[in-house]
Amino acid sequence: MLDIKKTIEGEKVLLELSGRIDSNTAVELDRQIKESIGGAAEFTMDMKEIEYISSAGLRVLLAAQKQMNKQGKMKVLNVNETVMEVFEITGFADILTIE
Q: In what order do the strands lie in the sheet with 42-53?
A: 2-9, 12-21, 42-53, 73-77
Number of independent structural domains in the chain: 1
Domain that holds residue 43: 2-95
> How does pLDDT run across 58-77, given as a tens digit for each residue?
999 999 999 999 999 999 99
List the beta bridge partners of residue 43.
Answer: 13, 74
DSSP 92: H
Domain with residue 80: its CATH number is 3.30.750.24
Torsion sign across C-alpha atoms 30, 9, 3, 49: positive
List the beta bridge partners of residue 4.
Answer: 17
| pLDDT reported for residue 19 | 98
Residues of the chain short of pLDDT 50, as ranges, are none
